[in-house]
Chains A and B, each alone.
Chain A
Amino acid sequence: MKSVYIFIQKYIDIWDALAVICYSVFTWCWSGQVKSNITEILSGISTEGSVIEIVPLGKWLFLFAFYFFIICRKLSKNRRMLTFVLYRYRYFETWWRRHFITMHIANFMIFIISCVIWGTLELFNGIFTNENIAVILVFFLHLSVWISVLIAGNIIFNTKITPCILLIFEGMLYIVSVNFNLPFLVCGMYANCSYHKLGIIAVVAYVIEILIMAICYLTVSKLWKLGYLERKVVECQVQ
């Protein structure tokens, strides 16, 4: 039991846990409770009506903003100690791999906590269907893509505006997908991009998402080898 606690503590602290509990209850409360709540929360906005729905879009972006906030907090903590951490590894690649995986595990654990809370509330409320699992997986894959971009962006650009850019980009993808009827652009929204609706196109969209994650990982490794990151990873003031 103690080792489980130590393992969890390695990735999430008490503040993360409290924040995710509040977030999950809050997002559950705002869902319409028409059908399944998990579907309401995580499946996104249907683009079939060709009307841009601002409030649901805001809710959709809020879902991501929360995870971005938690991960950015962790990234900023890591950056503070980076000088002391980095030289303890022999190779940059070793550190980067560990950092990338650690952040994804932290994100996964936070997401799991919110799913457990949503699932529990769902069981009290009614039913937990197979569709719920598909919705969760599609959302989590999309979230993981943005988290990968966030982790890589933190190293490459060393700027705090990456999450804002990602949220704007996600919002723009929704608007473009509505205006030009391209539902696969919002591939995190199960309501638009599911195998059930789009068939093989949905699968291609998911594969592209996985490729984006791999590209994020490989880009940082490559940029380090090219020497581009030397003034980004450890801030270099001439002294």
Chain B
Amino acid sequence: MSSAVKLENICKKFNKETVLRDVNADFHYGKIYGIVGKNGSGKTVLFKIIVGFIRPTSGHVYVKGKEIGVDTDFAEDVGLIIETPGFLSQYNAYKNLEYLASIRNRISKQQIKNAIKVVGLDAESPKKVGKFSLGMRQRLGIAQAIMEDPKLIILDEPMNGLDKNGIHIVKEVLENLKKEGKTIILASHYAEDMEICDEVYKMEDGVLLKSLH
């Protein structure tokens, strides 16, 4: 099975603080991977390294066979949500996603609307994002991550702020994406968010421990 993401001996230091220690992993297509860990364990840093926002102090990251920082600055064909999603508060959900979609310019208006509907939001609603609850913003964040049909989806705390129904919708969406052959990597503080995952890793003090199941 080919790797969507391959991490080789990733170490990351910020000044003298070591955040990631010798992280090795292979994430394959058509699977959902979970990373559980406490605050400050290094999950978000690892995600930022995979995407290319920050460079590892040592080691190599390959996404779809291309080395991040060498062949390309940022990972290609990826959908991402890291930390609290930031949107333009004076625009509605559709306008926000339309702006983001205009960068790659490869999806239609209908596809944007579909992504919004899939996460349980109203694509036609004029409600400004500034008036959205945390849960609604989170859903919109997930919509922006999946709207361009990326092969790799990286979600940092995707269940943050979601109610039971929201969590159910997101899990259903992720399972459907997995069936389409996507690779999904998600992080959470809570083990119960990991029930949809095929493999779960534990992040502890910058060390990625092998699958729990």
A binding-site residues for B, Cβ under 8 Å: 77, 80-93, 227, 230-231, 233-234, 236-239
What range describes how many residues of B lie at the interface? 35 or more
List 23 A-B pairs, Cβ < 8 Å.
Answer: A83-B82, A84-B144, A85-B100, A87-B74, A88-B100, A88-B103, A89-B103, A90-B72, A90-B73, A91-B73, A91-B74, A227-B55, A230-B53, A231-B14, A234-B48, A234-B82, A236-B48, A236-B54, A237-B44, A237-B83, A239-B40, A239-B43, A239-B83
Q: A83's closest neighbor in chain B, by CB? A: B82
Q: B20's closest neighbor in chain A, by CB? A: A238
Pick from B17, B55, B80: contact of A83, CB below 8 A: B80
Is the Cβ of B83 less than 8 Å from the Cβ of A85?
A: no
Is the Cβ of A83 less than 8 Å from the Cβ of B86?
A: yes
Within 8 A of A (CB), among B21-51: 39-45, 48, 51
Q: Which residues of chain A come closer than 8 Å to B19, judged between CB atoms?
A: 238
CA of A5 to CA of B48 in the docked complex: distance in angstroms?
A: 37
Is the Cβ of A92 less than 8 Å from the Cβ of B39?
A: no
Q: Which residues of chain B come closer than 8 Å to A237, judged between CB atoms?
A: 44, 83
Most buried by A among B43, B52, B144: B52
Is the Cβ of B42 less than 8 Å from the Cβ of A87?
A: no
Is the Cβ of B45 less than 8 Å from the Cβ of A238?
A: yes
Q: Which residues of chain B come closer than 8 Å to A231, judged between CB atoms?
A: 14, 54
Q: Which residues of chain B come closer than 8 Å to A230, judged between CB atoms?
A: 53-55
Q: B40's closest neighbor in chain A, by CB? A: A238
Which 4 residue pairs are nearest across A and B when measured between Cβ atoms? A239-B44, A80-B86, A230-B54, A88-B103
Pick from B44, B74, B100: contact of A84, CB below 8 A: B100
| B212, CB-defined interface residue at 8 Å | no
CA of A92 to CA of B75 in the docked complex: distance in angstroms?
A: 11
| B109, CB-defined interface residue at 8 Å | no
Closest-CB distance, A20 to chain B (whole angstroms)? 18
| B134, CB-defined interface residue at 8 Å | no
CA of A114 to CA of B82 in the docked complex: distance in angstroms?
A: 40
CA of A89 to CA of B74 in the docked complex: distance in angstroms?
A: 7
Q: Which residues of chain A come closer than 8 Å to B191, judged between CB atoms?
A: none
| B120, CB-defined interface residue at 8 Å | no
Q: Which residues of chain A come closer than 8 Å to B86, judged between CB atoms?
A: 80-84
CA of A84 to CA of B72 in the docked complex: distance in angstroms?
A: 17
Is the Cβ of B75 less than 8 Å from the Cβ of A87?
A: yes
Q: A93's closest neighbor in chain B, by CB? A: B73
Q: Would A84 and B80 be within 8 Å (CB), given that A236-B48, A239-B45 are in contact?
A: yes
CA of A89 to CA of B102 in the docked complex: distance in angstroms?
A: 11
Q: Which residues of chain B come closer than 8 Å to A93, judged between CB atoms?
A: 73
CA of A91 to CA of B40 in the docked complex: distance in angstroms?
A: 28
Is the Cβ of B74 less than 8 Å from the Cβ of A81?
A: no
Q: A81's closest neighbor in chain B, by CB? A: B86
Closest-CB distance, A50 to chain B (whole angstroms)? 49
CA of A237 to CA of B40 in the docked complex: distance in angstroms?
A: 8
Is the Cβ of A81 less than 8 Å from the Cβ of B100?
A: yes
Pick from B55, B74, B83, B141: contact of A86, CB below 8 A: B74
Q: Which residues of chain B come closer than 8 Å to A236, judged between CB atoms?
A: 14, 44-45, 48, 53-54
